Chain A
């Protein structure tokens, strides 16, 4: 059995990558350039500099026992000694030193694995229902499609330089959600007139702006899967928004084009592919059968624990006499030593004996009934949470702020606390089938949108202090005919999460009999119950009263967001801005009715302060005290003329605490608040203000151009090719503005452009890249 085919040029790419690592270590290329190289290889830097995570592709969650074993050995030798299973059914190795990356890469290749496309703007790991091929209720096995599509897509160079990441899911039509309806491109298995095929969804996805997928086809034959994918990819490549990272996924393209145009553009590519007789998917059946070369001696067990475990975790397959077994992991982690043990055990059951699921668990398959005892006997030797109710294993938590640079909260800190609280609560957890998902920020890595009870990290403010907290969401349902995301209901401090979850599940367990599912409950009275339950926790003690609220679970330090670096997580930033904006708006409203002199004075002071602080966060600034807010505002907003200089004197006075009577400045303060709010409205997703000279949008006269093309991330010579594509239809004398990467691109492209008779009007370094203004000859 094979998993997927490695691209033919992978060996060369790894060699080139090895060279780039050396250049980076020697200081010849800077960290930002290096990031652009390593991320598409599935390698992310953790919060600790020079320490990396490698994300390994496992199409459809399929891994052969020897692949698991090799990965585990590498994790033991070069990483943290843990193999982590992700919510996209991949394996991850953490704490990898930069000098070991290539060694690991080559070892992975030797067992048919690759981390290429694990990150960046690429075709990411293709997910599929983990029970495909064994679920008696499925339409048919989609494993072969997942594998074949993966092989084909990763063989193409243009799958690795898309406008943004591209996620694909397959569902076998069983009862388990594989997210086909909420992803960039989803295939739901269907049988029509005896023929295998798929209902196709696209433009869905979870994240800071989630969207449900729309139906692209009611039915396509199974061999068209490749054509549909390729067509959507080509169209995405042609029309996708490369400039605004936060608005570039396919769902945004759908939104901006509208259904009709989107489908029309898609169809143009699709028809072209069909007419050209593009290759169909070559499907190779994946056999699910009893492996006769089993060297184990059957274990016969009769114990109540064995029966309880079977009830919780063992399922009959559609192949008679064979069983699948879920191995629930604590947040997707298994020690490398245990993984090796498990892999060796699984070799007895053949190559097709293991899957990873999107709830970060392992699933053994093709285990004959007589050997279930052997699996049970193995359990005490490897650390899983198989002795706990399945609700625990179904909990998802993203990695959070300890390794992720975007994270706000620490889901992996709070989740064990929730589990502990649940175990101690006396609730019969085996009767509660509730999926609890926790994300550390608004990006949906912890899948809070698809949760029964979901949480997304946010910043709460109490007086002048920040504290970690979560927005509570509930009631997602993802199915063919009805999909909706969990709805945001209320919020609760991180500290109170465990008892809050227990409270909610207690109420639910009392009412459960009346509902078919948690989702149904949440849609009805559950909604109010959850909002009500959170009220108990709405009164947050001040830092002086209880400092523990201001340090997240397992965190060593008091909660902080920015750590002096530019804010990476846009969602948290909006929280902070909105906080001040609300103060301004409320105070302005009160000002209209309040007459008391002192009260008015206080309101105006508040407005002045919040208006000055509101946008500091967009520059990655956090004031240490009240007066320094004014200093930072003066320097970063009035100085660069984002806000008019007419306010400078007033702000200086405020900075020196010289204003006693704010009423004397009433008009000016209100005008300032107005200016700041207007400036905020002009802000785009890359935190640039319209009045600013943005590196992405040359706006001053001398930089103005008829056309603009961002060629960052495009390698030589394709960057020059694309520049020519832009120049060709332009009129002589027209100007083209380009952004180019440092290094090879800026060294080569300008010369090539000049040699074709065009003039370079301007060549200017901007941050980590170059701005080039070209006049067509």
Chain B
């Protein structure tokens, strides 16, 4: 496969980059990325990955667009209210870039289906809103050996890390297990500044593009967190946890199970 004239123009700003070039763009066109959650994080990630020409993009979400989503989930428009989020997202992604094949999964990812769905993807973006899902995605990606980007936002804060299973620390290495149900405030009461979703989802998209093209250093073994009020970013370094329940030698998680925690009312 060669780039045609239109693609050369469309991706010219990538091709111009010394580190990306034609080879990098070809890698993107041949890459497969799954975005779990078509919400606050998934929206900007999906749009940037589509624009970048990532050849196959999967997007999974069971929800329909709600008017309360529109404050931050910029891939959905007012006209999309009550439309399945994955359909709404696919429509926009194809409008941005018809080169991209968008696969939609209009379902909850659970212990019984997640491994099958993520299998075959080169990279996964976690754009979900609950600790249960985040641990599920972490464990599934580790078991399947698929690199992924973790992301989370609340109020004015965001955090993200990138995991290459077995080589770098995973989410469970750091956070061990989901917090008890009554400790974390419900998101609908806490709220979130819309642009924070854009900041974090965009960082996740950039991590995916870096990983695919092999450019630079992904956020391995470190958690990037920021507070938008002061607009300070900091990195917290850590190592693989040799007692990690899923990726250490002594791992006891060899099969997935659904954690019991109510999903957050507010989709990130």
Contact = CB atoms under 8 A, between A and B. Distances in A.
A728 B21 contact: yes
Given A276-B94, A718-B12, A724 B21 contact: yes
A755 interface: yes
Contacts of A234: 4-6
Interface string B5-44: 1101100100110100111000000000000000000000
A767 interface: no
Contacts of B6: 158, 234, 237
Contact of A725 (B3, B18, B98): B3
B99 interface: yes
Contacts of A158: 5-6, 9
A295 B136 CA distance: 77
B141 to A, nearest CB: 30
Given A728-B22, A728-B23, A755-B18, A721 B94 contact: no
A720 B99 contact: no
Contact of B98 (A157, A276, A755): A276
Interface residues of A, number: 20
B15 A724 contact: yes
A157 B21 CA distance: 22
A76 interface: no
Contacts of A568: none
Contact of A721 (B4, B15, B18, B98): B15
A718 B23 CA distance: 17
B16 A278 contact: no
B4 A277 contact: no
A157 B9 contact: yes
Contact of A277 (B16, B18, B94): B94
A269 B4 CA distance: 9
A238 B4 contact: yes
A51 to B, nearest CB: 35
A31 interface: no
Contacts of B5: 158, 234, 237-238
Interface string B229-255: 000000000000000000000000000
Of residues A157, A718, A728, which shows the largest number of chain B Cβ atoms within 10 Å of its Cβ? A728
B98 A717 contact: no
Nearest to A756: B18
Nearest to A163: B5
A158 B9 CA distance: 8
Interface in A158-172: 158
A238 B6 CA distance: 9
A721 B16 contact: yes
B94 A725 contact: no
Nearest to B97: A276
A261 interface: no
Nearest to A156: B6
A377 interface: no
A725 B8 contact: yes
A722 B5 CA distance: 9
A772 B259 CA distance: 64
Interface in A270-298: 273, 276-278
A700 B5 CA distance: 31
A717 B3 CA distance: 17
Contact of A717 (B16, B21, B23): B16
A695 B168 CA distance: 56
Contacts of A238: 4-5
Nearest to B98: A276
Contacts of B8: 718, 721-722, 725
Contacts of A276: 94, 98-99
Nearest to B23: A728
Contacts of B9: 157-158, 718, 721
Contact of B22 (A717, A718, A725): A725
15 contacts: A157-B9, A158-B5, A158-B6, A234-B4, A234-B5, A237-B4, A237-B5, A238-B4, A277-B94, A718-B8, A718-B9, A721-B16, A722-B8, A724-B22, A756-B21
Given A234-B6, A276-B99, A717-B16, 9 more contacts: A158-B5, A234-B5, A269-B4, A277-B98, A278-B98, A721-B8, A721-B9, A728-B23, A756-B18
Interface of B: 3-6, 8-9, 12, 15-16, 18, 21-23, 94, 98-99
9 cross-chain pairs, A with B, having the tightest CB-CB distances, nearest first? A276-B98, A237-B5, A728-B22, A721-B12, A721-B15, A756-B18, A238-B4, A238-B5, A724-B15
